[in-house]
Copies of this chain bind each other. A is one copy, B any other.
Amino acid sequence: MRVSKLFTKTLRDAPADEVSKNAQLLIRAGFVYKEMAGAYAYLPLGIRVVEKIKQVVREEMNAIDSNELIMTSLQRKDVWEQTGRWDDKVVDIWFKTKLQDETEVGLGWSHEEPIVEMMKQYVRSYKDLPISLYQFQTKMRNELRAKSGIMRGREFVMKDMYSFHASAEDLERYYNKTIEAYKRVYDRLGIGEDTYVTFASGGAFTKFSHEFQTVCDAGEDVIYLHREKNIAVNEEVIDDAVKELGIDKNELEQVKTAETGNIFNFGTQKTDEMGLHFTGEDGKQQSLYIGSYGIGITRAMGVIAEKMSDDKGLVWPESIAPYMVYLVSIGENGQKAADSLYDELSAAGVEVLYDDRDERPGTKFADAELMGIPYRLTVSDRGVEAGKFEFTTRKTGQTEELSATEVKNRFTV
């Protein structure tokens, strides 16, 4: 991509009403545009990051035999009434609207109920189980406050997965498999070391659910952490957990975190409430066991923007950077050499953002840093003569002098 063809511009200042660091940086660098509090458009650079995070998650969910689908945003009242969750007193973040004939409909803030309703059409016998499904949905949540940038949106992208099982044991097996898949996701997103499987409030069926909490100063949660024993507990259940797990609260460290994922064991609660059954091997009708597993895609992007940034701007990990290389040309010969280097690298499959604008080098360097592209490649008249290019790593700021072949070898196998 040529920067000259990118319509976004980097901005010196974020909008005055934007208080969160992640949104300030992402707006200034041209990744997102604020439509209203809690609702952001994802611009060409931003949508590439979103899609890369989705692809990491997709690969790991496919690897545990989950099927991708996409449910609707429009929600039927009768479906949610089966569990009592249509009521605004029970769920206080519904957006609701009406069809022309005055029928009330909701906008999906989660999808357990419609998925369970749908499965009535597909699950008959134990032979149909287990089943795992997931989607990347634009969730709508009527949050009272939305001041955390893309870390808490009224409209945001979530991966939600649901699994259906014939027994508690089979759900347990898949639940644990999912924990491992989630760990791989966070590792690949570059936040694995700072993300903890955390005991949290469990809901109806189990004492505890599990959250994936990522250490983040801008996070809205607090966890109690034992780094050595790798135990983490959400403060909301700390007293219960201390008793249950036999740990000493004084040994735990309090840390601010953001919840980047969660998994729930619903047991048979929802299938009992909604009447989703299957015929067992013994010919008898039984209730299904359900697990529910979320990852906030855009929230994860916000958390990464918060954590991986410095006073110059964003610092994307390679796995989700919108482009791998920011190519800067200086001078006339520099531009010719950069043109052909751009073509060569692109042809080799390297994702290059080529700053071909008629701007001062300092402006280009500052934009490269603000956007957080992992590597900058500078092609100057002087360098062309010497057959060397400046290769700068965003994270460390270190610069090497590389030949064209050395550059290519860095990115191609």
Partner of A97, one of B39, B97, B121: B97
Q: Which residue of B lies closest to A73 (CB)?
A: B155
Do A133 and B47 touch (CB < 8 A)? no
Assuming A36-B105, A46-B69, A100-B144, what are 17 further A-B pairs, CB within 8 angstroms?
A: A5-B65, A7-B119, A36-B72, A39-B72, A41-B69, A42-B70, A43-B67, A43-B69, A44-B68, A44-B69, A47-B68, A47-B69, A73-B140, A74-B154, A74-B155, A97-B107, A100-B143
Do B71 and A35 touch (CB < 8 A)? yes
A50 cross-chain contacts in B, Cβ below 8 A: 70
Q: What's the nearest-Cβ distance from chain B to residue A133, in Å?
A: 7
A83 cross-chain contacts in B, Cβ below 8 A: none
Do B42 and A140 touch (CB < 8 A)? no
Q: What's the nearest-Cβ distance from chain B to residue A140, in Å?
A: 7
1/0 per position for A32-71, CB-CB distance to B under 8 A? 0101100111111011001000000000000001011111
A70 cross-chain contacts in B, Cβ below 8 A: 41-42, 47, 50
A118 cross-chain contacts in B, Cβ below 8 A: 33, 41
Task: Give the total of A residues in contact with B, Cβ under 8 Å.
Answer: 52
Alpha-carbon distance between A142 and B102 when the two chains are bound, in angstroms? 11
1/0 per position for A62-104, CB-CB distance to B under 8 A? 0001011111111110000000000000000001110110000
User: Most chain-B Cβ atoms within 10 A of its Cβ — which of A7, A41, A73, A76?
Assistant: A7
* CB-defined A-B contacts under 8 Å, sample of 15: A7-B67, A7-B123, A7-B131, A7-B133, A33-B118, A35-B71, A35-B114, A36-B105, A39-B74, A40-B72, A43-B69, A44-B67, A46-B69, A95-B97, A138-B138
A131 cross-chain contacts in B, Cβ below 8 A: 7
A7 cross-chain contacts in B, Cβ below 8 A: 67, 119, 122-123, 128, 131, 133
Q: Which residue of B lies closest to A30 (CB)?
A: B122
How often does this chain occur in the complex, in copies? 2
A99 cross-chain contacts in B, Cβ below 8 A: 142, 154
Do B9 and A122 touch (CB < 8 A)? yes
Do A142 and B95 touch (CB < 8 A)? no
Do B8 and A122 touch (CB < 8 A)? yes
Residue ranges of A at the interface with B (Cβ–Cβ < 8 Å) = 5-9, 11, 33, 35-36, 39-44, 46-47, 50, 65, 67-76, 95-97, 99-100, 105, 107, 114, 118-119, 121-123, 128, 131, 133, 138, 140, 142-144, 154-155
Q: Which residue of B lies closest to A67 (CB)?
A: B44
Q: What's the nearest-Cβ distance from chain B to residue A217, in Å?
A: 27
Do A142 and B100 touch (CB < 8 A)? yes
A72 cross-chain contacts in B, Cβ below 8 A: 35-36, 39-41, 155
Q: What's the nearest-Cβ distance from chain B to residue A64, in Å?
A: 11
Counting from the closest, the 7 A-B pairs by CB-CB distance are A44-B67, A7-B131, A39-B72, A35-B72, A39-B74, A41-B71, A97-B97
A65 cross-chain contacts in B, Cβ below 8 A: 5
Q: Which residue of B lies closest to A118 (CB)?
A: B33
Alpha-carbon distance between A71 and B138 when the two chains are bound, in angstroms? 12
Do B155 and A36 touch (CB < 8 A)? no
Alpha-carbon distance between A33 and B72 when the two chains are bound, in angstroms? 10
A40 cross-chain contacts in B, Cβ below 8 A: 72
A154 cross-chain contacts in B, Cβ below 8 A: 74, 99
Alpha-carbon distance between A73 and B141 when the two chains are bound, in angstroms? 12
A96 cross-chain contacts in B, Cβ below 8 A: 97
